[in-house]
Amino acid sequence: MKNGLKEFRVSSSKQIQAIDVTDGIEAIARKEKWRDGVLFVFVPHCTAALVVNEFEPRICRDYEKYFAQLKKEKWEHDSIDDNAAAHVGSAAAGSETFFFVKEGTLVLGTWQRIILMELDGPRDRRVLLEFVKTSA
């Protein structure tokens, strides 16, 4: 089994966009033959976030609407580069999470998916993965 940080990239096409990254993460887990342990997922960006929830078209539009509401506020940072709402949304939702891996499969609830929330796109984003083996 190979160790070390793994990475894949995701491209957004809208300013605010929900992107399901679950399949990409699972593909790397299969390729690396990760069996039992903890998988840490991190997006190294100040204007993107990770959300674990259902990925259904209507709720995705609701996620996007929720984060778009932040743009209605007047933020001090906007005087620098007009993306304070993206920074605030990322800070609120978070840019990291972890998952248990059991017998080579991510442990997720029935409808749960791993969603990268693009908050300042369109952009290319990195998703970093680090697996820690917990059993023999």
Give the tens place of pLDDT for each residue, 65-101.
Answer: 999 999 999 999 999 999 999 999 999 999 999 999 9
Kindly list the distances between the CA atom of residue 116 and the CA atoms of 65, 119, 121, 125, in Å, as whole numbers in the listed order: 15, 9, 12, 9
**Mean pLDDT calculated for residue range 32-44:** 97
pTM equals 0.94
Residue 41 predicted with pLDDT over 90: yes
> CB 28: neighbour CB atoms within 10 A?
17
pLDDT of 135 reads: 72
Task: Give me the mean pLDDT over the 7-32 stretch.
Answer: 97
Confidence class for position 3, pLDDT limits 50, 70, 90: low
pLDDT at 132 over 80: yes
CA–CA distance, 91 with 76 (Å, rounded to integer): 16
Assess contact for 133 and 36: CB atoms under 8 A: yes
Count CB atoms within 10 A of the CB of residue 102.
13
3-state secondary structure of 62: helix
The rounded distance, in Å, linking the Cα atoms of 80 and 68 is 19
**Domains of the chain from N-terminus onward:** 6-133 (2.60.120.460)
Can you name the residues that pair with 102 across neighbouring β-strands? Answer: 105
Peptide bond into 122 cis (omega under 30): yes
8 A C-beta contact, residue 113 and residue 52: yes
